[in-house]
Chain A
Amino acid sequence: RKEVEQDPGPFNVPEGATVAFNCTYSNSASQSFFWYRQDCRKEPKLLMSVYSSGNEDGRFTAQLNRASQYISLLIRDSKLSDSATYLCATGGGADGLTFGKGTHLIIQP
């Protein structure tokens, strides 16, 4: 059975701090890796893809460790607007993506 595990949090972080999440996956055949952001009672939206070489987009950095089967997300200089639930997802087959339960992040002023 394919599983994706995340620390549910909540992570309470002061504004301006750096925060990191990890996510582990069980399916070694996974080819695609993503971080999605989900706001309360809204649909998930793609935050960034995760590549073997790592991926950086502004304040966000995602990394993949295939040997240990985990992916990470680093948020620098956190903003109040970063408060959300962050979902890790893996896949690559015809049956779409397998999602973790999400990590709840609260940025405090």
Chain B
Amino acid sequence: DGGITQSPKYLFRKEGQNVTLSCEQNLNHDAMYWYRQDPGQGLRLIYYSQIVNDFQKGDIAEGYSVSREKKESFPLTVTSAQKNPTAFYLCASSSRTTNTGELFFGEGSRLTVL
């Protein structure tokens, strides 16, 4: 089945530690995105990538980094510079071919900083 796989689903981190969230898709989508959601809040864009080896900052990129070495993969690193990293992280992808704008989401990764 085609889809987006995020791992881990739950992650606990001590303050000062970097952590990397995995996102893999087999939908053959060109575009991939990382959003952050806080309780009672909407989704806020962290980073996005339209093609391999290229990515752009979203609205809240500070304290985060990404890479896009393969079309299928778009990992997100939450660095120690991110002041409030506890949140629900959602990876999404979309097809530039159909260009409908619809995003498909993974199941999310819930990060808690202790």
Q: Give 1 or 0 for each of A53-95: 1 = CB within 8 Å of chain B CB.
A: 0000000000000000000000000000000000101011011
Show the binding face of B for A, using Cβ within 8 Å.
31, 33, 35, 40-43, 45, 48, 50, 56, 58, 88, 90, 92, 94, 100-108, 110
Majority DSSP secondary structure for residues of A touching B? strand
Q: Assuming A44-B43, A95-B56, A96-B92, is B102 touching A34 (CB within 8 A)?
A: yes
Show the binding face of A for B, using Cβ within 8 Å.
4, 8, 31-32, 34, 41-46, 49, 87, 89, 91-92, 94-102
**Among the interface residues B35, B101, B106, which one has the most CB atoms of the partner chain A within 10 A?**
B101
Asked whether B42 lies within 8 Å of A95 as measured between CB atoms, the reply is no
The distance from the CB of A62 to the nearest CB of chain B, in whole angstroms, is 14
**CB neighbours of B90 from chain A (8 A):** 43-44
**CB neighbours of A97 from chain B (8 A):** 101, 103
Asked whether B31 lies within 8 Å of A94 as measured between CB atoms, the reply is yes
Asked whether A49 lies within 8 Å of B102 as measured between CB atoms, the reply is yes
Q: Could you give 19 example pairs across A and B, Cβ below 8 Å? A: A8-B40, A41-B88, A43-B106, A43-B107, A44-B90, A44-B105, A46-B104, A49-B102, A94-B31, A94-B50, A94-B56, A95-B45, A96-B33, A96-B94, A96-B103, A97-B103, A99-B43, A101-B40, A101-B41
CA A102 to CA B88, docked complex, whole Å: 15
**CB neighbours of A46 from chain B (8 A):** 102-104
CA A45 to CA B94, docked complex, whole Å: 13
CA A32 to CA B31, docked complex, whole Å: 16
CA A32 to CA B103, docked complex, whole Å: 11
Asked whether A45 lies within 8 Å of B105 as measured between CB atoms, the reply is yes
CA A94 to CA B50, docked complex, whole Å: 7
Asked whether A32 lies within 8 Å of B101 as measured between CB atoms, the reply is yes
Asked whether B48 lies within 8 Å of A34 as measured between CB atoms, the reply is no
Asked whether B48 lies within 8 Å of A95 as measured between CB atoms, the reply is yes
**CB neighbours of A91 from chain B (8 A):** 101
